[in-house]
Every structure is written in C-alpha cells, then in structure tokens.
Amino acid sequence: MKNWKTALSRRKQRKAENTLSWILLALVLLVAYQVFLYMDITNTIDNANILLRSVWHGKILDFYELSVQQAKTNYAANYNFIIYIIFAVWQAPVYLLMHLLKKEYLDCVMAMLWSKGLVILFFSVTVYWIKKIVEFCTGSREKGILAVFLYSSSMAVFYPVFICSQLDVISMSFMLAGIYYYLKNQNKKFWLCFFIAIPCKMFAILLALPLILFRQKNIWKAALLWVSMMGLLLFEKLLFRNSPVYQYALAAQSRDAIQSLLGSNIWLGRSITIFLVCYLGLVLYAYLCKKVTTETILYTGFVLWGSFVAFTSINTYWVFLLAPFTILCICCNSRFLKADILVETIGYFCYFVGIVCSGTYVLKDDKLVHRLILAKWIPAAEHLKYGNLVNFFTSHDWNQYAALFSSIFAASVLALLVLTFPGIQKKECAEEKPDLEILLLRPILLGLTSILITQTSHTN
C-alpha cells in the first residue's frame, strides 16, 4: 500500500513538473514574440508593402527597382520573389487598414507584430510536421509531444525564430512536409514541397539530392528530377531577366552563400572544405545505399546540416537548419534519450554564448528590443553603458572564450551524431524517459537569455 502511494505521489509530481515546463515555455515564447524584432525582417516587411503598391499600379515587374527607390529601411529587396509574395498576401489587410487610417506601417507596433506573426505561423507549421514525422516513425503520441517540447525549447530555434525572426522557417516548413510525404512514399507531394521550399531558401537543394538518390539510381533520371525541383526558381529568373536590381541582389546573395561554404577550409597540403567532403560522401552513400530506413533518412538530414553548421562560416541564425533534424533523430533514435537531451541543451546554449562572444552582428542591433511593445516603456537612450549584449560580453572580456564555446558546440554535434546513429539503435534496449529537471531547465535558460538581452539593451 505504501509503495502504491509513493508511486502515485511521484506520478503526480512528474505531471506537475511537466505542466510547469510547458507553462514556462509558453510564457517565454509569448514574451519573446512581443519583445524582439531584428532589423532584417523590417526590410522584408517594408519591401512586401512596396510589392503591394507595385501590384496596385501595375508595375510588378519593376518591383526590385521600386524597392531601391521607395525603401524606408536600409535594404532593398534581395530575396527570392516568393518570399515577398507570401509576406504581401499576409500583410495586405493590415496594410490597407493602415492606409485608410493614414498611419505608417513600420511605426505601428500592432502592424509589426502582425508581420512577425507570419514567422511564428510558419514556426507552428514546422512544429506540426515534426510531431507528425515522429509519430509516424515511432507510433508514439507521447514521443510526438516530447519532440514538440524539445524543438520549441531549443536555443537553436529560439534565437533564429523568436529573436532574429529569420525566414529560413518558411523553407523549413516545406522541407519537413516533403520529408513526411517522402517517408510515406507519396513522391509527387514530396516533389511539390521541395519545388516550393527551394526558392524560399536555396539550401533546400542540398537536402533534396541525397533523398532523390536513395530511391532513384538512374543518374540521368535523378538529375532531371533534381533540376525540375528548381522550376519555380528558374521561372522567377526568367520573369525578372530584365531587372538589373534583381540580377545584382540575388547574385550577391548567392555569392555570399558560396563564400561561406568554400571559404571555411583547412590546409592539408592543399585547401580542403570539410563540409563539401562530408556532403559529397553523403551523396555517394545515398546513391550506393540499397536498403533505406526511416531512421537513415532523418539521420541524413542531421549529418548534412550538422556538418554545414559545425564546419562552415555561417550566418549565426542558419543554425536553425540543424534544429529540426537534431530533435527528430533524438526522438526517433531514443536509446540514449537522457544523454541526447542533455547534450543538445548544453551544445546549443554554448553555441549561443559562443556567437555572442564572437560579436555576432544580430545582437549588436541596438534597437532589437525597441521596435515592439517595449518601445514605449524603455525608449532607446543616447548614451548607454552597454547598449547590447555583445558590448556587455566584450566589456567583461568574454570574447576570449569564443573558441571554447564553439568547440563545445561542435563536440556536442559530433556526440549526437554518434548517440543517434541508426545502427546503434537496433540493439535491444529499454527506452529511457527524459529527466524532467532538464526539461524544466530549457525554458528557464531561454527566459534568462531574454532578460539578459533586454537588460543590456537599456542599462545606463
């Protein structure tokens, strides 16, 4: 009887701790949504409004030129056209309302929250597909819910999505949908999802190729299928072939991405790019592989983006590309679940600390917390002791530890690649339950990070 009561008490305690973790996470994400707005997305919001005006005046093909002439922010349009279409459709009703009220869209907090809400909407879509993939692979609803929590509380999601409001989440929504249909052998839907994902973010091309080669061993047919996925991108280039601004802006974006990939090399008698070595090996493996499991498919994404993030000089928010596949592999290959979650928590937190120590320009944005609801409460002062989190770290000489935290992150990625390797999971072993203390720690770390960014942005 005593043992029964003890077990019941422990179960109630676990349920209470689990509920507390979800409440804290929801609170932190809600506050972050309303507080942080990085400069990049204000450019996209402004350019989407320019697209609406160009459509109204029948000058849609002059959109990229008009973005140079009419931009109210510091950058003209430099993304693929589909991104601005998505934002323009989302913003159209609010833009019309602002026009009727004779208010400036960029100066209205509620309008900016509406625009940022599109990023959060696509984040919710990625959550949906992660849950669907995990439940499909494991047959466990409980695993699906755990995956949602781990993904939503990951620093690799919180920083790019809720602080930076980066648009990679749009492409990722379609990539994850494509993977789900790929696992279900619905190849037409898989193709369609990547057909849309690629012009949203061209990095989707990298994932598409090994997935194609797992099932299509005819090189010419595989190449044709791969190129056909770029159809929307090619149509866009044809549409704006007479736009010099489009040609320049998109060429600059592609050049920067290629430099990030090829510029991250080591010298071993000759210059070698580690990521490309890993990627070419992955493509060769996909072509030679005869029998493919669901775990292998998910692990392929983890290897791809893991090597990309760990071994290239990326924009700091591109770590988001790795986040979904980390969680998918942890939850679908869960023999070492406790260790996996701990390593992921430590690794991504060290990644964030490392990029701050390195002086990431995102967190040098002095108006990061002054564009939304805090603008009225803590208006930006002219002279601040810190001004932003990077200056705070620099003033305390934390920049000297950048390599340390970056190394811990790289080690954590390698450790997770070993711990979630599909071949290991085939051994008979009882699955572990996650430590609730670690789960509770994750939203607390996100909350403390938010407080630190906010405090250093207005401390005199």
Lowest-confidence pick of 91-95, 107-111, 189-193, 330-334: 330-334
Instruction: For residue 78, give both structure tokens.
Output: 């430099």
Q: How far apart are CA 190 and CA 129, in angstroms?
A: 13
pLDDT digits (tens, 9 = 90+) for 146-188: 999 999 999 999 999 999 999 999 999 999 999 999 999 999 9
Question: Can you give the pLDDT at residue 212?
Answer: 96
> Could you tell me the two tokens for 385?
């002791």
Give me the pLDDT at residue 178, please: 97
Whether 201 and 171 have beta carbons less than 8 Å apart is answered as yes
What is the separation of C-alpha 393 from the centre of its chain, rounded to a whole number of angstroms?
25
Burial 183-200 (b: 16+ CB within 10 A, else e): beeeeeebbbbbbbbbbb
pLDDT at 199 over 90: yes
The whole-angstrom separation of Cα 265 and Cα 43 is 32
Angle ∠(369,374,378) on CA atoms, nearest 5: 90
Percent of the chain topping pLDDT 70: 89
Other beta carbons within 10 angstroms of residue 129's beta carbon come to 22
* Residue 383 pLDDT > 80: no
Output the pTM of the full model. Answer: 0.92
Whole-angstrom distance, CA of residue 358 vs CA of residue 365: 15
| Cα 214 from Cα 216, distance rounded (Å) | 6
Q: What is the pLDDT of residue 431?
A: 61
Band of pLDDT at residue 355, cut at 50, 70 and 90: very high
Residues 173, 47 contacting (CB under 8 angstroms): no
**Is the pLDDT at 59 greater than 80, yes or no?**
yes
Residue 125 in tokens: 């879509």
Please choose, from the candidates 83, 44, 304, 118, the residue with its C-alpha nearest in 3D space to the C-alpha of residue 199.
Answer: 83
pLDDT of 331 above 70: yes
pLDDT band at 145 (very low <50, low <70, confident <90, very high): very high
pLDDT-derived band at 3 (thresholds 50, 70, 90) equals: low
Check pLDDT > 80 for residue 311.
Answer: yes
Whether the pLDDT of residue 14 is over 80: the answer is no
Residues in the chain: 460
For the chain, give percent helix, strand, coil, nearest 5: 75, 0, 25
Average pLDDT value for residue range 286-305: 92
What are the structure tokens assigned to 250, written together?
A: 């998109």
3-state secondary structure of 68: helix
- pLDDT of 425: 54
Give the pLDDT band (50/70/90) at residue 378: low
Please indicate whether residue 382 or residue 105 has the higher confidence score (pLDDT): 105
Q: Where residue 250 falls among pLDDT bands split at 50, 70, 90?
A: confident
> What pLDDT was estimated at residue 366?
80
CA distance 305 to 318: 9
> Has residue 427 got a pLDDT over 60?
no
